Structures are given as C-alpha cells and as structure tokens.
Amino acid sequence: MTALRKLTGIALLALGAGVVIIGAFFIQQGFSAESEIKDRMAAEAVTITIDDVAYPVDNGDRATAQALIIRSHTLEKYGPWQTLERGSDERASLLDGLTLRNSLNMARMGLDLSLMVKAIGGVFMVVGLGFATTGAVVYTLAARHEAKERVQAREAVPAYAV
C-alpha cells in the first residue's frame, strides 16, 4: 500500500511538472504572438493624430480608436456602403477604409487573444504547481509511513531473536 502511495506521489509530481511546462509554453507563445502583431503594426506605420500630434498605432486601444475614426470619416464622407453605386470611385475609397478598419480590428483581437493565451498559461502553471505540491506531500507522507512501519517492525522482534 505504501508503494502505491509513493507511486501516486511520483505520478502527481510528473503530472504537475508537465502542466507547468505546458503553461510556460502558452505564456511564451502569448508573448511571441503579441510581439509579432506589434512588429507588424509598427511596420505599417499607421498613426493616430490628436491635436496635431501623430501617435503610432502600436497597441490595441489605439488600433480600436483609429478604426473608429476611419469609420466615422468614411460614413460622414460617403454614407453607408449600400447607398453607393457599383463601380464608383467613392465605393472603392470606402472599401479601402473598410480594409484598414478590419486590419486594425484584427490587430486588436490578436492582441486580446495573446493576452488570453498568457493568462491561460499562468493558470496552467498554478494548477501544475498544485499537482506537484500535492504529489510531494503524498510521497513524503508515504515515505514517513513506511519508515514508521520499519521502526515498529524492528521493535516488534522479540529480544531472544536478536
């Protein structure tokens, strides 16, 4: 029975280590995705202008703000998509604005998703540490129980048997 308890402790330790490794991988992938999205946003050199000062669109909030600005400008200038005639220059210009808005919104979603992946990785690491700690406790208690049984077995030997 003690061997089974020790084996359970070792299995929990191994499971915990595996879950911690998976969590670390998720966190690394989240940071990697965030970095890639921000690098691509910087390469496009999109800026948002506030009070004649141009700020780079390099995070999710600025991407959303710029998408909303583009939306309001295109709606003010051209109106909704369905009101424009097919093949008109206005429709082509509105399509360019839609494309940029979609790209900015996708960047925002990608940044939010990378944050979620990092959070899931953190949860995995905490759960893995919980498994590993439980495994260590189970193993330690089993080893103590085994040592106690050995001592009791030695004490139970009659004096004439020594």
C-alpha dihedral (4, 142, 7, 122), degrees to nearest 10: 130
65: pLDDT strictly greater than 70: yes
Tell me: the pLDDT tens digits for 81-138?
777 778 778 888 888 888 999 999 999 999 999 999 999 999 999 999 999 999 999 9
**Residues 77, 138: Cα–Cα separation, whole Å:** 70
For the chain, give every domain's residue range: 2-156
Arithmetic mean of pLDDT, 42-53: 86
Residues 6+ apart with CB under 8 A from 120: 23, 26
Rounded Cα distance, 72 and 79, in Å: 10
Per-residue pLDDT band at 161 (split at 50, 70, 90): low
Per-residue model confidence (pLDDT) at position 150? 83
pTM of the model: 0.78
pLDDT at 160: 65
Closest CA relative to residue 132, chosen from 120, 121, 140: 140
